[in-house]
Amino acid sequence: MALGTVEKISKVARWGNSLGVRIPRDGVDQLKLKEGESVKVRVKGDTITIRRAKAHRKWTEKELLKGVTPEMCGPDLIPERAGKELI
């Protein structure tokens, strides 16, 4: 499907202490949005832009430390193990 312009009139409704706007079905389909998905809302002047939020990768400690050795960190960052308290 080619990306086109979706323009429809929506009403502003109360949602808790905030206000909300429904996204028309055509827009949801075009952007392939799903309920619960995060979006980025930008207000500038008299314009509101809603974009799909970029997914942030959640790194594991193992992935972050892959390839890091004690020699790379230096002696002051690797505590000496005196017993089982650090194991």
- Within 13 A of 61's CA, how many CA atoms are on the CB side? 0
- pLDDT at position 77, please? 61
Q: What is the residue whose two structure tokens read 């650090």?
A: 86
Looking at domain 12-52, its CATH class is mainly beta
Q: Is 36 left (phi over 0), alpha (psi -120 to 50) or beta?
A: left
* Mean pLDDT per 10-residue section of the chain, whose length is 87 residues: 80 93 90 90 93 84 84 66 60
Model pTM? Answer: 0.52
